[in-house]
A and B are shown apart, each in its own frame.
Chain A
Amino acid sequence: MLYIRCPYCEEYRPEIEFRHAGEAHIVRPTNMAEISADEMEEFLFIRENKRGIIFERWRHIHGCGRFFNCVRDAVTDQIIMTYKSGEPKPSDAEIEKAILALKEEQA
């Protein structure tokens, strides 16, 4: 059971309070009715599924109810950071920094 920091509740909570909600930062086109078949396939089905640092959405469904985003290492399951829905995707540098901070915290 993962231990996930909810950016709205501002503390770590056990995974069973949350529901995973798929890959993050997949933007729903504003011209939905007009996109091509390729774009539709991309939007609906194509996923990064990276073996490494991933961006994902969670909902604190049995807590504050908010959707938020999470950066996690899909190989180790270490959660690197969480941030509120609508906030920009963290840059590589920000992620590096967060990883370092986590390492220091443990050491």
Chain B
Amino acid sequence: MRKYSIFALAREAMRQHKGWEEQWGSPEPKSSYDVIIIGAGGHGLGTAYYLAKEHGIRNIAVLEKSWLGGGNTGRNTTVIRSNYLYDESAGLYNHALNMWDNLSQDINYNVMYSARGVMMVAHNVHDVQVLKRHVHANRLNGVQNEWLSPQEAKEFCPPLNISKSCRYPIMGAALQRKGGTARHDAVAWGYARAASDLGVDIIQNCEVTGIRRAADGSVAGVETGKGFIGAKKVGVVAAGNTSHIMQMADVRMPLESFPLQALVSEPLKPIFPCVVMSNSVHTYISQSDKGELVIGAGTDQYTSYAPNGSLHITNHNLEAICELFPIFSRVKMMRTWAGTVDVTPDRSPILAKTPVKGLYVNCGWGTGGFKATPGSAHVFAHTIANDAPHKINEFFTLERFKTGRLVDESAAAAVAH
């Protein structure tokens, strides 16, 4: 792999950029692999990368029904933070946050991680209690998060409306300075390029249609649009389509898939310096490097695989934005889109072995998977390679839904992302 750098760029500039290589290969599938990952989003590609890089497994394929990075990786609002309440979640997301720091250098691809700060605002006494609970728990867990007064919040984010006369005045905010955003496509592409370089076969337009089991019940491989492909181990990282894939191995999941919308405004000159989230009025917003305000909302109320959102969801979302930032009323919405997110009963992910030997699942990220990408991929690779979870993901099992040992972040944050 030719290294990316300013020097490489300058060299290529002199020859009209004719010397760049393909970022990743487009091979035909081999007859079998040691590990097959189903789903070429950030989590799946990252899993393949860490399997190859840290676990010495090189005979890996990532199968993608469409184009890589085109699912939730390429459709989310790229918020990164780790200020989760429970030890288990804080451990997982903070692992990811620490990895974001060096990800660009590690995979030699600028993922544009920008720690511009994520501020969660409180609008009532209950919000204050909940957010302070987070701040305290985070501090004792070694997760950076701090409490700001309304004035401090306004200083950190000047467009914020802290007027006492608005419907739900701001009573304070929790700020994670290390939170921020990254460039979603770059994460998928960077992992794809790095994994491809380590010999991973990334096979796009290759839909999995079945999971074949050996006589002993363990995984034998997958049926695909390009024929049967053998595999010793299969990792399912299919987000909204997880239930559908797992059904092929007769594993029924505690998941429901919902359309989740986001939108961007027309590009504006820099006006919005950070990420602001409000659980009470249900919205979150940041400004991209291109100048677009990137705005996310909650899901539609019904389960669906149709990646379109409803206008009334957009309406609720922008109401909240104009309430928090009345100056944006005349700004125009440029593009809306939706993804399909898979949601577990406790709004925490499943990163685990399954009842089927050789079959592993990484799912249930709901509205908040992007931020976890490096950490999730890293511990999932560990889980597949060792047939046992990493300490960080040992709580995120399927069994918890039987015992009731849930990691319920939803109680703490109505909009989790």
**Which residues of A come within 8 Å of B, CB atoms?**
1-2, 15-16, 19-20, 22-23, 37-38, 40-42, 44-51, 54, 56, 72, 74-77
Number of B residues with CB within 8 Å of any CB on chain A: 25
Q: A2-B310, A74-B303, A74-B305 are in contact. Are A48 and B243 (CB under 8 A)?
A: yes
Residues of A within 8 A of B256 (CB): 22-23, 47, 49
B253 and A49 contacting across the interface, CB-CB below 8 Å: yes
Among B241, B302, B312, point to the contact of A51 (Cβ < 8 A).
Answer: B241
Q: A49-B243, A49-B253 are in contact. Are A37 and B402 (CB under 8 A)?
A: yes
Among B305, B312, B342, B401, point to the contact of A16 (Cβ < 8 A).
Answer: B312
Contact string, B385-417, partner A, CB cutoff 8 A, digits 1/0? 000000000000000011100000000000000
Q: At the interface, yes or no: B257 with Cβ under 8 Å from chain A?
A: yes
A49 and B303 contacting across the interface, CB-CB below 8 Å: yes
Question: What is the CB-to-nearest-CB distance from B242 to chain A, in angstroms, rounded to a whole number?
Answer: 8
Q: A1-B312, A38-B402 are in contact. Are A47 and B241 (CB under 8 A)?
A: no
Q: At the interface, yes or no: B175 with Cβ under 8 Å from chain A?
A: no
Residues of B within 8 A of A45 (CB): 254, 345, 401
Among B241, B253, B301, B401, point to the contact of A20 (Cβ < 8 A).
Answer: B301
Residues of A within 8 A of B311 (CB): 1
**Which residues of B come within 8 Å of A, CB atoms?**
241, 243-244, 247, 252-257, 301-306, 308, 310-312, 342, 345, 401-403
Q: Give Cα A48–Cα B242 distance, bound, in whole angstroms.
A: 11
Question: What is the CB-to-nearest-CB distance from B337 to chain A, in angstroms, rounded to a whole number?
Answer: 16
Residues of A within 8 A of B241 (CB): 51
B302 and A47 contacting across the interface, CB-CB below 8 Å: no
A50 and B244 contacting across the interface, CB-CB below 8 Å: yes
A41 and B312 contacting across the interface, CB-CB below 8 Å: no
| CB-based nearest B residue for A51 | B244
Residues of A within 8 A of B402 (CB): 37-38, 40-41
Pairs A–B under 8 Å by Cβ, sample size 21: A2-B302, A15-B312, A19-B301, A22-B256, A23-B303, A38-B402, A40-B402, A41-B401, A45-B254, A47-B254, A48-B252, A49-B244, A49-B255, A49-B256, A50-B243, A50-B244, A54-B303, A74-B304, A74-B306, A77-B304, A77-B308
Q: Give Cα A2–Cα B303 distance, bound, in whole angstroms.
A: 12
Q: Give Cα A23–Cα B241 distance, bound, in whole angstroms.
A: 17
| CB-based nearest B residue for A77 | B306
A47 and B312 contacting across the interface, CB-CB below 8 Å: no
A44 and B243 contacting across the interface, CB-CB below 8 Å: no
Residues of A within 8 A of B253 (CB): 46-47, 49
Q: Give Cα A46–Cα B350 distance, bound, in whole angstroms.
A: 14
Question: What is the CB-to-nearest-CB distance from A51 to chain B, in angstroms, rounded to a whole number?
Answer: 4
Question: What is the CB-to-nearest-CB distance from B320 to chain A, in angstroms, rounded to a whole number?
Answer: 17
| CB-based nearest A residue for B246 | A49
Q: Give Cα A13–Cα B253 distance, bound, in whole angstroms.
A: 32
Question: What is the CB-to-nearest-CB distance from B255 to chain A, in angstroms, rounded to a whole number?
Answer: 5
Q: Give Cα A23–Cα B257 distance, bound, in whole angstroms.
A: 12
Q: Give Cα A47–Cα B246 distance, bound, in whole angstroms.
A: 12
Residues of A within 8 A of B302 (CB): 2, 20, 56, 72
Question: What is the CB-to-nearest-CB distance from B406 to chain A, in angstroms, rounded to a whole number?
Answer: 10
A44 and B304 contacting across the interface, CB-CB below 8 Å: no
B306 and A75 contacting across the interface, CB-CB below 8 Å: yes
Q: Give Cα A62–Cα B401 distance, bound, in whole angstroms.
A: 33
A56 and B303 contacting across the interface, CB-CB below 8 Å: yes
A51 and B305 contacting across the interface, CB-CB below 8 Å: yes
For the complex of A and B, the 10 pairs showing the least CB-CB separation, nearest first, are A49-B243, A45-B254, A20-B301, A51-B244, A20-B302, A41-B402, A45-B401, A77-B306, A46-B252, A45-B345
Q: Give Cα A26–Cα B403 distance, bound, in whole angstroms.
A: 20
| CB-based nearest A residue for B240 | A51
Residues of A within 8 A of B304 (CB): 74, 77
Query: Told that A15-B312, A74-B257 touch, could you supply 15 new A-B pairs with CB distance under 8 A?
Result: A1-B310, A1-B311, A15-B310, A20-B301, A22-B256, A38-B402, A45-B401, A47-B256, A49-B243, A49-B244, A49-B253, A49-B255, A51-B241, A74-B303, A77-B308
Q: Give Cα A54–Cα B342 distance, bound, in whole angstroms.
A: 16
B257 and A49 contacting across the interface, CB-CB below 8 Å: yes
Question: What is the CB-to-nearest-CB distance from A27 to chain B, in angstroms, rounded to a whole number?
Answer: 16
- Scoring A19, A45, A48, A74 by chain B CB atoms within 10 A of each residue's CB, the highest score goes to A45
Q: Give Cα A15–Cα B313 distance, bound, in whole angstroms.
A: 11
| CB-based nearest A residue for B402 | A41
Q: Give Cα A32–Cα B243 distance, bound, in whole angstroms.
A: 26
Question: What is the CB-to-nearest-CB distance from A70 to chain B, in angstroms, rounded to a whole number?
Answer: 9
Q: Give Cα A46–Cα B304 distance, bound, in whole angstroms.
A: 17
Question: What is the CB-to-nearest-CB distance from B250 to chain A, in angstroms, rounded to a whole number?
Answer: 12
Question: What is the CB-to-nearest-CB distance from B66 to chain A, in angstroms, rounded to a whole number?
Answer: 14
Residues of A within 8 A of B306 (CB): 74-77
Question: What is the CB-to-nearest-CB distance from B348 to chain A, in angstroms, rounded to a whole number?
Answer: 13
Residues of A within 8 A of B255 (CB): 47, 49
